[in-house]
Every structure is written in C-alpha cells, then in structure tokens.
C-alpha cells in the first residue's frame, strides 16, 4: 500500500487537532488536560501518526515539545483541511440562512474605532443574526493571523506595499491625518497655526518607533523640527480621546476617527498644515482562498461605506 493510501486510511481530523494541541501546549501532559484524555493516549496517538508517515513529527527541547520540519508540514496541511471544513459548514449554514453566521475580522486599532465599528452597526441593522469576532493589532500580527486562518480577512492600513504572494489587497480609501484637541483647548480659537507653535504643548503621541510614530516624525522633520517631547506615549485611540477631553492635550489622528461613527463634537481639528502622506486603507485576503459567504456580505458593506470617505479624484 502506498503512503498516500495508508495516510488516507489512517489519518482522522481528531489526529490533526491532537497534534496541533500538543504543539500549542508544548507538552503532551498539558495537551492531554486540554483534550480531556490521558497522557498515554496522547503519546500513543502521536507514535501511531509517526509510524504511519515514517517520520518524526515532534522533538523535545528545554523549551518543551516543538514540531520537526515534517511536523510543521503536517500542521500546515491540517490547518488548511480544518479551514476548508469550517468554510464548508459555513456555506451549508449560509444556504440554510444567508443572514446568519460569524465574521472574523483582523483590524488595525484606529480603523476598529473609526470605520469597522459603524460598519458592524450597519451590517447588524440589516442582518441581526450575524456575529463578529474582532482581532485588533498592527499589520505584522494581523497578517500572521490571516495566514494562520484565524481570521477571514483584514481591514487595515497599508503603510508599505504587501509583497507576500499569499496575500491579496483591495483598496477602500485613502487616510489623511490632522492635529486634534478637545473642544475646551485654548488653541481652538486660533485660525492660523504653525507646527512650530505647538512644539512645547502637552502632546499625546504614538511611540516614535511605531509605523504611525515614524510618519509623525517625518512630518515634523519636513519642517526642520524634532519629534515633540510627548507628555504621553500611547497607541490606543480611546486613551487619547479621554486625555483630549480634558482640554489640555494635543494629538494627531486619522481624519476618519472624527467622522465615524458620527462626527465627534467634543474634538476639534486645528488649522495646522501637517505634511503626512495619505495612507491607503483596504481589505486583505488570502490569495486563491474563497471568503466565506457571510464575510462577503460584510466586505460588500465595507465597499459601500468606503465610498463616503473616498478621496476626491481617486
């Protein structure tokens, strides 16, 4: 009997799940607890898999159990098989009820606040039985989650061109950036402001080593200025909004944060020329992988909403 026939006859979905759990747990004992079976049963199942394939799947190190090169190949295959099964089940559910299901979205923190939140509200109004799982993070983390098929697609900024051939990008809209204060801030009354005038103000900015921080640093450098001595360095937009509400602080936001879900009257844009290049935001999917039908509904709604923030002439 050839290897493919032996594997097809012996390998079951539960074997792939067991192997994945062992690798994630880095321990057969911990995997046994998670799977609610005995440790000898886990060891026996792994040994039988290795016997069928004729290769070693796992190695032990000081850090725990790690997959061999053969183990990683089988895990990748298993991930694809389980994802195909999940999408197949979703399609069956969609045929039975096209207005229900789960959408798994990987999203940049700012877009989660400014674009995805009102988008979810719009979709829920139309399809109240759809549920959503949001994974928030920066581009590198999100791409890893997509490749691992932990999310259906990404809605994220593209600071640089994506070169990974496994990923496909669809443009939604260009993002511009503005200097923002709370409505009580004394700078609101000024009509013409130079960036130099604001250097000694209490800024709330992203860390300069972050992608957003590097864009901010470039804007200041274009005027011959150093990165301001920020009073607070932080990324999450909700923290910045809370500080702006005091009327003391300044920050730099994507313009869409002030437009969605509704116009934020408590925040004001200062008339400062801010030379930060527009950054495209869009949808990232896996190349040659079909998006689940219920996720396609969400993506179509994203395209509709993006038209309202589309840059003129784009």
The number of beta carbons lying within 10 Å of the beta carbon of residue 256 is 21
13-25 and 28-35 helices, crossing angle to 10°: 130
Which secondary structure element, helix H or strand E, spans residue 136, and what is its range? strand 129-136
In the chain, CATH 3.40.190.10 sits at 97-175+279-306, 177-269
Dihedral sign from CA coordinates of 193, 195, 196, 202: positive
Query: Residue 199 has what DSSP assignment?
Result: T
Task: Give the span between the Cα atoms of 73 and 29, in whole angstroms.
Answer: 23
**CATH architecture for residues 97-175+279-306:** 3-Layer(aba) Sandwich (3.40)
> Edge-to-edge, what's the strand order for the sheet holding 177-182?
232-233, 203-205, 250-254, 177-182, 267-269
**Which residues 6+ apart lie within 8 Å of 262 measured at CB?**
none
Q: What is the pLDDT of residues 297-314, one digit of tens each?
A: 899 999 999 987 664 444
pLDDT at 47 over 70: yes
Specify whether the CB–CB gap between 254 and 177 falls below 8 A: yes
The confidence score (pLDDT) of residue 20 equals 86
Residue 92 or residue 121, greater confidence? 121
* Closest by Cα among 38, 32, 144 to 24: 32
The confidence score (pLDDT) of residue 5 equals 61
Least confident segment among 124-128, 170-174, 310-314: 310-314
Token pair for residue 299? 């993506």
Which secondary structure element, helix H or strand E, spans residue 77, and what is its range? helix 69-96
The confidence score (pLDDT) of residue 311 equals 44
- Tell me which of 1.20.1420.30, 1.10.274.100, 1.20.1560.10, 1.10.10.10 is the CATH number of domain 3-79: 1.10.10.10
**Backbone angles phi and psi of 81, in degrees to 5:** -65, -45
The confidence score (pLDDT) of residue 313 equals 40
* Closest by Cα among 259, 247, 16, 308 to 117: 259
Which secondary structure element, helix H or strand E, spans residue 242, and what is its range? helix 237-244
Specify whether the CB–CB gap between 230 and 213 falls below 8 A: no
The confidence score (pLDDT) of residue 276 equals 86
Give me the percent of the chain exceeding a pLDDT of 90.
Answer: 33
Choose the most confident range, by mean pLDDT, from 14-28, 83-97, 196-210.
196-210
The residue-averaged pLDDT of 20-25 equals 88
**CATH architecture for residues 177-269:** 3-Layer(aba) Sandwich (3.40)
Q: What is the pLDDT of residues 57-72, one digit of tens each?
A: 898 877 789 889 888 8
Specify whether the CB–CB gap between 248 and 184 falls below 8 A: no
In the chain, CATH 1.10.10.10 sits at 3-79
Specify whether the CB–CB gap between 204 and 231 falls below 8 A: yes
């Amino acid at each position: 009997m050839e290897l493919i026939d032996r594997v097809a006859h012996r390998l079951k979905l539960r074997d792939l799940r067991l192997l994945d759990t062992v690798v994630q747990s880095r321990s057969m004992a911990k995997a046994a607890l998670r799977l609610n079976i005995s440790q000898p049963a886990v060891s026996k199942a792994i040994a039988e898999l290795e016997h069928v394939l004729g290769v070693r799947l796992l190695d032990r190190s000081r850090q725990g159990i790690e997959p061999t090169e053969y183990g990683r190949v089988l895990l990748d295959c298993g991930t694809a098989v389980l994802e195909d099964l999940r999408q197949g089940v979703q399609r069956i559910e969609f045929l039975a009820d096209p207005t229900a299901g789960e959408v798994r979205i990987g999203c940049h923190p700012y877009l989660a606040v400014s674009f995805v939140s009102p988008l979810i509200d719009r979709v829920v109004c139309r399809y109240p039985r759809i549920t959503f799982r949001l994974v928030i993070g920066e581009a590198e983390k999100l791409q890893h989650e997509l490749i691992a098929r932990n999310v259906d697609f990404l809605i994220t900024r593209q600071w640089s061109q994506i070169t990974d051939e496994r990923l496909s990008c669809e443009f939604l809209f260009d993002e511009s950036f503005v200097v923002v204060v709370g409505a009580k801030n004394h700078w609101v009354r000024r009509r013409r402001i130079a960036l130099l005038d604001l250097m000694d103000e209490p800024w709330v900015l992203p860390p300069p080593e972050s992608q957003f921080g590097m864009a901010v640093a470039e804007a200041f450098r274009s005027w011959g200025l150093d990165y301001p001595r920020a009073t607070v360095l932080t990324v999450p937009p909700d923290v910045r909004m809370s500080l702006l509400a005091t009327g003391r602080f300044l920050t730099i936001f994507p313009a869409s944060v002030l437009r969605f879900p509704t116009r934020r009257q408590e925040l004001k844009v200062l008339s400062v020329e801010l030379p930060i290049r527009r950054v495209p935001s869009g949808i990232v999917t896996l190349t040659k992988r079909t998006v689940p039908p219920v996720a396609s509904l969400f993506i179509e709604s994203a395209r509709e909403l993006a038209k309202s923030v589309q840059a003129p002439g784009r």
